[in-house]
Each structure stands twice: as structure tokens, then as C-alpha cells.
Chains A and B, each alone.
Chain A
């Protein structure tokens, strides 16, 4: 069985400060890892994904996440956040067989001026 834990339900941060949103998972099989973002009144959008290869993956808007197999983590980071990054962020895990995707409960990032 798979599970995903997002350790923080809300993260308030000031603009231009760094942020880390934490995600831990458990699985008995190999997995693919995803981060999705949900802006107000919208659906989820893919932010970045780890499939294989380099453990550090980046998005086009400055976010990055690092796959750590030993710690079963896939934390999301950004060195300097903007007001427009205010949204809810979901970590998701899919087994490599592709038949089950599990989403975390979400972390609400609130960027303050």
C-alpha cells in the first residue's frame, strides 16, 4: 500500500523569503513522484515530476524538488517566493505500474507582503 504525508497543512511566509513544503511517502514498490499546484478557483496543475535519473527536478517558475530515496521524501523548495505563489500544493505518488495515484492532503502556502 502507498501513502503520502504532507507534514504542514499551512505555511505562511513573507515575500522573497525561501520556503520548503515537505512531503514523505511510503510504498512497497517503485514510484513516480509529482507536485501539483492549485490556485484559487482552479483545478490542480502539474508543477514538476520525478520519474528517474537526476534526483533534483525543477519547474519553470523557480520551484525545485529533490527525491531522497533513503528518507522517502520529495520536498518542494523555492529560494524566493512571490505573492503569486499563494496556492495549495499537493504531493502525489504513483506506483510504476500506474494503477494507483495517491495524493497528499495538501499544503496551503500563503505569501505575505
Chain B
């Protein structure tokens, strides 16, 4: 139990579907992150939110749309995805962005497969 819960754990969707990934943290943190983890590639930071404000978007295609309604919840809305978007999507949280000595706490991820 890491304190960061991601749902669903597995998701299979067609290229024309719309779905959302959910992340919830129970650690009282104020920063939340979305990462993409593909086989044989380094972890890719996608988005960062700090106190509900988006502070980073690493040139992510617009078919990925994040939402952070409060410091405990983070969503990733998906639409019109491509086969290369199949990957493990990890959510993480930390005390706040700007406090470098605090580690990130990760959820177990959502394994996304695009048909």
C-alpha cells in the first residue's frame, strides 16, 4: 500500500474510444505527476500539477488531457489514441514541487493497450 491508488489497473480500448484514468492519493501531498512507461524506454514525465495548477506539460499530444480537481485526485482523459500509446501509465505524488529532498510516491499503474 503506497498511498497512491490508480484505477483501472488494466484498460483495453480501441483507437476511437474515450476513456479516463484515475489517480487518488491519501498522503496529503500537493504535487501530482503522470508518467508513461514503455518497454525499453526511460520513464517519460508527461504532466505535473502543484497545488492543482498545471506546472509542466512535456510536449504531450493533445489526445491526452489531464485534470486535477483537487490535490488528492488526478485524471488522464484519453481520446483517439494511437497504437504507440500502449504503455504503463504511472501516477505519482510528492509533498510539493520545489521540495527536492522529498521522494515521489507511485501508484501501481494502469496498463493501457490500444487495439
- A interface residues, Cβ below 8 angstroms from B: 9, 31-32, 34, 36, 41-46, 49, 51, 90, 94-99, 101, 103-106
Contact = CB atoms under 8 A, between A and B. Distances in A.
B97 A51 contact: no
Interface string B22-43: 0000000000000000001111
Contact of A97 (B98, B107, B109): B98
A98 B108 contact: no
B49 interface: no
10 contacts: A9-B40, A31-B100, A43-B6, A43-B106, A43-B108, A46-B103, A46-B104, A98-B97, A99-B97, A103-B43
B100 A95 contact: yes
B74 interface: no
A49 B100 contact: no
Contacts of B92: 43-44
A22 to B, nearest CB: 16
Contact of A99 (B4, B98, B106): B98
A42 B98 contact: no
Interface string B85-115: 0000010100001111111111111000000
Contacts of A99: 97-98, 100
Given A49-B101, A97-B98, 14 more contacts: A43-B2, A43-B92, A43-B106, A44-B92, A44-B104, A44-B106, A49-B103, A51-B101, A94-B101, A95-B100, A96-B100, A97-B100, A99-B97, A99-B100
B2 A34 contact: no
A32 B101 contact: yes
